[in-house]
Structures are given as structure tokens and as C-alpha cells.
Amino acid sequence: MISWCAGILSSLLLLLAPLWAWAQQDGIFDEYRAMFGDDNPAVFVIDEGEELWFSKAGPNSTSLEGCDLGLGAGVVEGAYAQLPRYFADTDRVQDVESRLEHCMIELQGKTREEIHAKPYSLRGDLGTEMEALVAWLAEQSRGLAIAPGQAHPSERSSYELGEQLFYFRAGPHDFSCATCHGQSGKRIRLQSLPDLTAHEGAAEAYSSWPAYRISQGIVRTMGWRMRDCFRQQRMPELIMGSEAAVALQTYLAVNAAGATMAAPGLKR
């Protein structure tokens, strides 16, 4: 039912395609976004995420209510904003996706294989469970300050590795994240590129993901954003919730710390 609504919405958005081409021009996107007003189509996905959290699933027929996202079992309000952080039970720094994966395995009895089969939608899909859960959880941190953990040594080394990865140049094009996101006021074609090494750029970016992508009609997560930028970087596919995915998000979250979460955002 919810996916069905989202389906209709994305078809409507397809009809807006000519408008879309026009909206690609810098600045005009803001007006285009304003047309949506407060109607971020992500609301449907958020509702779906909430439903998923409370429904019994997996071989254990258990809900995710017992999942500890860092603030105690079942506490969802403000949990997203303090990730990534160190978890003693897994002895790892985790982002929202790897933590959800942990709970799906431990509580619901799902397998790693099924969780990783398709964590992110392909173009034209109606959305995955992971995307819906992350959208809802992010919404539960809306208006709160970004405050990833940096007290534990593992959290600090995750940041340092994230920084190394940000500048890691490899692949046939020699790109690193810093190639495209290391200076302010730059753009690729018409897309403006935030300087993610500075607080301002990192804050604007980090606070607005997960986001509803108008051009794709899907909610995308920050984990997906990392994977897709690695694709543009001509690198292999980033594994959801992997150490590198977590380290990069730690780097971004710490650079953005103190800013206010405003996700799910709305992107082109």
C-alpha cells in the first residue's frame, strides 16, 4: 500500500521530467524544491520504516524493538544523530546500517546473505526495507545535534581511517573523495560539490541524508551515497556497513558535529 503510493508519486514525478531538465540549472533547483513545500515524498517511506520496526519478521518472528542503537534497547529518538559509535557487543564502530544488520541477525534470525542481497534499490524499484528503516530512524533525530561518538579509541581510529580513505587516490582516474569534495565553491557539470573536509560543507551534506532523490523517486541513505561516489570514482562496489563505509561516515559526521539533523532531505 505504502510502496504503491510511492509508485504513483514517482510516476507523477516522471511526468515532471521536462521541468526536471530545467530544474537542473543551479539555483533553480531551490525553487523546484520549494514547489514540494513540506511534502517530502519520503513521508511514505518513513511510515513504512516505522511499520517495519514494530512488525515481527525473520525466522524468529521478532520485531526490532529490542535493538540497541546506542541509547539502549528500543530507544530510537535521537539514536541516528549519535552514530556512528562504538558498540561493546560487536566490538566495532557501527553506522546505522551495520547496526540494523546486527539486530536483524541477532534478534530476527535473518542471514547476512539475505540482508546483503539488495540493501539499496536499483533505479525504478520501490524501495528496500533497509532504506525505509533508515529513513524513519533519521526522522527520529530531526532537529537534534549531530554527535557521533569520539570518546572510545576505536571511534577515534575510525575517524583517522576515514580521513585516510577520503584522500585515498586509486583506480584508472586517480580520483579520491578529495578530488571532488576538497574545495568549496566547485561543481561538476552543474552539480555543486560541498567541501566535506570543512564543517560547513560536511554539516550541510551529513544533516540532509538519508534523502528522497527526486530524479530517482527513491529514498537514498548515506551508505548508498558512499557506494555511489565510489562508483563514480571508478572503484569496486562498497559493501554496506563495511569498515570503510563506517569510517567514511565517521569522518563526515565528526566534521559535521554540532549541526542539526534535517533528514530525510530532498535531493535532485
- Chain residues that interact with another protein, rule: CB under 8 A: 24-25, 160-161, 163-176, 178-180, 182-183, 185-190, 193, 197, 230-232, 234-239, 242-245, 247
Q: Residue 174 binds what, of another protein, ligand HEC, none (CB under 5 to 8 Å, by partner type)?
A: another protein
Q: Which residues bind ligand HEC (CB under 6 A)?
A: 175, 177, 179-181, 188, 191, 193-194, 196, 204-205, 208, 225-226, 229-230, 232-233, 248, 252, 267-268
Q: Residue 268 binds what, of ligand HEC, another protein, none (CB under 5 to 8 Å, by partner type)?
A: ligand HEC
Give the chain's end-to-end CA distance (angstroms, integer): 25
What element of type H or E holds 186?
strand 186-188
Q: For residues 203, 208, 213 and 218, what is the CA-based torsion angle, rounded to 10 degrees? A: 130
Instruction: Show which residues are catalytic.
Output: 229
Shortest distance (Å) from residue 206 CB to another protein: 19
For 152-167, b/e burial (b = at least 16 CB within 10 A) is eeebbebbebbbebbe
- Give the residue with the Cβ less far from another protein, 147 or 254: 254
Q: For residues 148, 136, 177 and 149, what is the CA-based torsion angle, rounded to 10 degrees? A: 10
* Pair 195, 183: CB distance under 8 Å: yes
- Give the residue with the Cβ less far from another protein, 7 or 182: 182
Shortest distance (Å) from residue 66 CB to another protein: 28
Measured distance CA(52)–CA(95) in Å, rounded: 19
Q: Residue 239 binds what, of another protein, ligand HEC, none (CB under 5 to 8 Å, by partner type)?
A: another protein
Shortest distance (Å) from residue 59 CB to ligand HEC: 35
Cβ within 8 Å of residue 191, ≥6 positions away: 268
Shortest distance (Å) from residue 201 CB to another protein: 14
- Give the residue with the Cβ less far from another protein, 61 or 183: 183
Measured distance CA(224)–CA(239) in Å, rounded: 10
- Give the residue with the Cβ less far from ligand HEC, 107 or 218: 218
Which of 258, 253, 89 minimizes the C-alpha distance to 156? 253
